[in-house]
Amino acid sequence: MSPAIDLSAFIHHDAKTGLNRLDLAVEGIDCAACIGDIERGIGRMKGVTEARLNYTNRRLGVAWQAQDVEPASIVEKLRQLGYRAHPFEASRQEQIEAAEMRFLIRCLAVSGFAAMNIMLFSVSVWSGNVTDITPDTRDMFHWLSALIALPAAAYAGQPFFRNAWRAIRNRSMTMDVPISLGILLALGMSLFETLHSAEHAYFDSAVMLLFFLLLGRVLDQVMRKKTRSVADNLMALKGETAIVLDVSGEARQVPVRAVKIGDLVLVRPGERIAVDGTVAQGHSTVDASLVTGETMQAEIGPGVPVYAGTLNIGGTLQVRVTAAHEGTLLDEVNRLVAQAADARSRYLRLADKAARIYSPIVHLAAFSTCIGWVLIGASLHDAIITAIAVLIITCPCALALAVPATQVVASGALFKAGLLLQAPDGIERAAQCDTVVFDKTGTLTLPEPRIANRASVDPELLEAAARLALSSRHPLAMALAAEAQRRVPFEHVEEVTGEGLRTIVDGVEYRLGSAAFCDAEAMAAEALGTQRDASLIAFRRDGVCAVFLLKQALRPDAVETVARLRAQNYALAILSGDNESAVAQVARALGITEWKSGLKPADKIAALDGLKRNGRRVLMVGDGLNDAPALAAAHASLSPVSAAHVAQASADALFIGEALAPVDAMLGLSRKAVRVMKDNLWIAVVYNLIAVPLAVFGHVTPLIAAAAMSGSSIIVTLSALRASKPMRAALPAHPPATLVPRQEARLAS
């Protein structure tokens, strides 16, 4: 990190605890073992009370007692551990990850090009050794191979060499250590053999090994979720500026950072409220669905609390600030998301679990082989050759490809099922889930409201009202405008603030808006009598009135999808921020008996924690800002592409379209993909059980070892293709009642 950067600008002081906090982006993290190295190293520093590394976005959060630690010493300690660090900024972190990916691809290209050219010389040597090649010609081919292999390996092997050196310095063990040893020993022994005019050199084996390992690393990087800054996503809701009224009533536009508690903020119609506060003056209608999950728009007036991110639809408001830049509901959501994501980033993937066992065994086997052959009288040269064969034949190419190759294939199958995979380990976690928890608003229901009383409305009046609604940005009017057959708005439309729209068409007045504005109070009261959870918009044309009830409808296949999940013995529940009546109605329609309403983000996390304590692994499906912490806290998570940005960033996968079936597909395909991953790991194990004894007893040369290693990698890759086969449907489209047992998640109270 450049010393010119002032860390003090990025330090946050917590007045309650007296701690200073700093978020750092750490470069050079390539495996889960790095988490322990960094957290232990920073945690041992005097004065540091907390060091937590988020493996997904490489974000290190450090807390220390004020005045006890110099921030620069934290960065210096990371440098000593072998990692570069700088203040966490989402845009810069994304650039770094993109640069890392470009470097990996360059390394892959160099190793592939070198391997192909070296193989041309090797084929000539192999065929010549059994025919009439002269020693001088063979030596020339070996030297040409060395001329290509040594610089190519020095460049393409950097991702492994750097990490191996860091691990050795920190006295830890990663898969990069045996990989690097195998490559360096193969190259060193090949150079030694070439200098002594031996028949065999193994430059082709070393470079081909690099190519396969880099291929696995690139596949893994392709599946890695790119870092997203939740704070940046929240700023779109929070607003960067606010209009503050001074004591004289003069309006000043200032950054949100400059707004103080007690200030009076002006909020105009159509704007998002930039602060938390209480309405001091004015009446309006607000849409808080994205923030709280409440579907119905609320009428607010003096004394009513409002939250940052809420959309002001109706009149002008003056809001007395209770929280602005820090301490708002959005900040609380941000904190909960970061906390939950950090906990989930510690999930240990199959490949990491295998590597922890695999690496020590590989070293022990190679070292024991070398010592054993020396003890029984073999020359040091022959013992080292045999040990190199063991290292090469056990080199974890198949292991490195087993998981990422399956992930790539499975992600393609998921895409065909309408799912976009975001987290590389999301497949593994989804396969372990036994409980599905849904949000209601925008998840079980469609995100946009639909007309609920279409059958009782004159189609001609509906068309006229929909065309008039084309001139409004009001959420209800926009939902009505979607029904217009002719997408041409009327001319000379006038907007009456807080009331609605009106225009004159062929001498006849058209009005669209509130029931009072359209003189349709009696009709509105009658219509709402049967559907209290609906929102209403009225229309009047030449004395003839119509009222349209708008409410969120269930996704078209919600009933069938929920039935399929229940038949597969998944426990089901609903956690919603919406009102009790609306949640109860959806729960009854879907046959879900466990549900909770009116929940805040922290309440949803508490409910998930209760399920976790009961041994449940939850797949959370949600779309709103208030769902983001729960999506990050759940064992696995899904979100529709129409969701709030912060919810999308917190989810393992996104599903496309209006159907809910991708939820079932995610679970089914994930289970199958994990089975294939485990099969691939077993292929690698069986291969080693057969090959290692042969290598240890000297029956395998490094050349044969390289061929066997390549063969195992090809077998694993072909095996991964099985993950692309579609799953069979668990139930017919309309399951009979007998296939719907009642098994719901018991939510912690």
Provide the annotated active-site residues. Answer: 439
- Are residues 266 and 251 in contact, defined by beta-carbon separation less than 8 angstroms? yes
Token pair of 401 as six digits: 């490809």
Q: What angle do CA 327, 623, 531 make, to 5 degrees?
A: 105
Q: CA-CA distance, 118 to 112, in Å (whole number)?
A: 10
Q: Is 524 helix (H, G, I), strand (E, B) or coil?
A: helix
Q: How many CB atoms lie within 10 A of CB 289?
A: 26
DSSP state of 168: H
Q: CA-CA distance, 729 to 267, in Å (whole number)?
A: 51
- Are residues 664 and 647 in contact, defined by beta-carbon separation less than 8 angstroms? no
- Are residues 517 and 538 in contact, defined by beta-carbon separation less than 8 angstroms? yes
Q: CA-CA distance, 31 to 727, in Å (whole number)?
A: 32
Q: CA-CA distance, 77 to 85, in Å (whole number)?
A: 10
DSSP state of 356: H
- Are residues 244 and 251 in contact, defined by beta-carbon separation less than 8 angstroms? yes
Q: Which residues of 514-546 are buried (b: 16+ CB within 10 A; e: fewer)?
A: bbebbebeebbeebbeeeebbbbbbbbbeeebb
Token pair of 536 as six digits: 């209403």
Q: CA-CA distance, 493 to 461, in Å (whole number)?
A: 17
Ordered strands of the 571-575 beta sheet: 419-421, 653-655, 636-640, 618-621, 435-438, 571-575, 595-596
Establish how many alpha carbons lie within 13 A of residue 711's alpha carbon, considering only the half-sphere containing its beta carbon. 10
Q: CA-CA distance, 117 to 133, in Å (whole number)?
A: 19
Residues whose CB is less than 8 angstroms from the CB of residue 705 and which lie 6 or more positions away in sequence, other chains included: 205, 389, 390, 392, 393, 691, 695
- Are residues 477 and 508 in contact, defined by beta-carbon separation less than 8 angstroms? no
What distance lies between CA 729 and its chain's CA centroid?
27
**380-394 and 350-375 are packed helices; what angle lies between their axes, rounded to 10 degrees?**
160
- Are residues 493 and 503 in contact, defined by beta-carbon separation less than 8 angstroms? yes
Q: What CA–CA distances, in Å, run from 5 to 87, 192, 454?
A: 9, 48, 62
Token pair of 74 as six digits: 């934290």
